Amino acid sequence: MPHSGPSDAVEVKKRVLLLKPRGFCAGVVRAIDIVKIALDTFGAPIYVRREIVHNRFVVNELAEKGAIFVHEIEEVPEGQRVIYSAHGVSPAVREASRTRRLKVIDATCPLVTKVHVEAVKFAKQGYSLILIGHRDHDEIEGTLGEAPEATQVVSSAEEVESLVVPDPNRVAYLTQTTLSLDEARDIIHALKVKFPNIAGPHTQDICYATENRQVAVRNVADGADLVLVVGSTNSSNSNRLVEVSNNLGTQAYLIDNSAAIDPKWLEGADTVAVTAGASAPEVLVEDVINYLQRNGYSSVEEVEVMPENVRFGLPPEIVQAIGGAGGGQSVPVRQ
């Protein structure tokens, strides 16, 4: 019988799979740029309604540079300058800004604006609107505000059953941009069963960044023992990445940074996949990778699942302020 001593043991190489695309999307880059440019151009104080993007690190960094974050427009002193977050606002917020004579800079992601435009269009055409999303999310609050009397929010396929509308043949659905593709598909299926003539958006509302990051996790989850998602707890798209992996049977955790890693998670985890939500900066990913390297993960392999090269132009308020450069049109460029 062969003897198997310590010298014969095969050393398992612990490795990290670093997913790409990960982290900042075009809407987040644009929103952060808008706050930085506004601070540089106009100087403090610059007020920002709600978290500009859902990441504590980013918000703290901008607050240190002089941005003042408020929850509601009423907290902004009359006549001051305010920036709307990437998640968008309802018409009621725009009206409140006008009443307070605020100088508004709109950092709403163009892909969120697309959903607002669809909501207005369907409501004008007399449709009952079903908005698929999470009721407590800033984006849903804004989109719902476009046609509150005509809109109902659903968050699960089970909720579809109890929907009541005036005319089942005049119903349309829209979705939050940062949903799980699988969950949205199930809810849309339930809606189509209940309302066979339901109308939908021209192209899906779930944005390219949300989709790409989920596809990347799906591609590697099977080959990993653990998935770490860098992102804040209130980031919808980051939470969805954790769900995608857990649904595939690979344990995943959402972490703000390396300090949130429980060493127990790494026990027996030879391959750790790392990704980041659309609002998580790369510096936090680097912090997590450094931690893993210090803990024996000597190999870091970047796994690019698909290329991503999307840019959005700056809003006219900023373009005018900086003298015309930067592109006034917010046009998504997909590659």
54 is in an annotated binding site: yes
Query: Exactly one of 51, 118, 139, 183 is catalytic; which is it?
Result: 139
Q: Report, in Å, the least distance between residue 296 CB and ligand SF4.
A: 34
The distance between the two most distant Cα atoms of the chain, rounded to a whole number of Å, is 87
Closest CB to ligand SF4 among residues 81, 87? 87
Closest CB to ligand SF4 among residues 178, 258? 178
- First-to-last alpha carbon distance for the chain, in angstroms, is 59
Residue 128: exposure state from Cβ atoms within 10 A (0-12, 13-18, ≥19):
buried
Q: Report, in Å, the least distance between residue 74 CB and ligand SF4.
A: 25
Closest CB to ligand SF4 among residues 34, 102? 34
Q: Report, in Å, the least distance between residue 216 CB and ligand SF4.
A: 14
- Helices 236-247 and 208-221, packing angle to 10 deg: 30
207 is in an annotated binding site: yes
What's the 3-state SS for 153-214? EECCHHHHCCCCCCCCCCEEEEECCCCCHHHHHHHHHHHHHHCCCCECCCCCCCCHHHHHHH
Q: Report, in Å, the least distance between residue 23 CB and ligand SF4.
A: 11
E-strand ranges in 200-330 read 226-230, 252-255, 271-276, 299-304
139 in catalytic set: yes
Closest CB to ligand SF4 among residues 29, 163? 29
87 is in an annotated binding site: yes
Chain residue at closest Cβ approach to ligand SF4: 27
Closest CB to ligand SF4 among residues 86, 273? 86
C-alpha neighbours within 13 Å on the C-beta side of residue 233: 1
- The DSSP 8-state label assigned to residue 10 in this structure reads P
Q: Report, in Å, the least distance between residue 43 CB and ligand SF4.
A: 26
On the question of a cis peptide bond just before residue 45, with omega within 30 degrees of 0, the verdict is: yes
Q: Which residues are near ligand SF4 by CB under 6 A? A: 25-28, 86, 109, 111-112, 177-178, 207, 209-210, 237, 278
279 is in an annotated binding site: yes
- Helices 236-247 and 181-194, packing angle to 10 deg: 90
235 is in an annotated binding site: yes
Binding-site annotation: residue ranges: 25, 54, 87, 109, 137, 177, 207, 235-237, 279
Binding-site annotation: residue ranges for isopentenyl diphosphate: 54, 87, 137, 235-237, 279
Q: Which residue numbers are catalytic?
A: 139
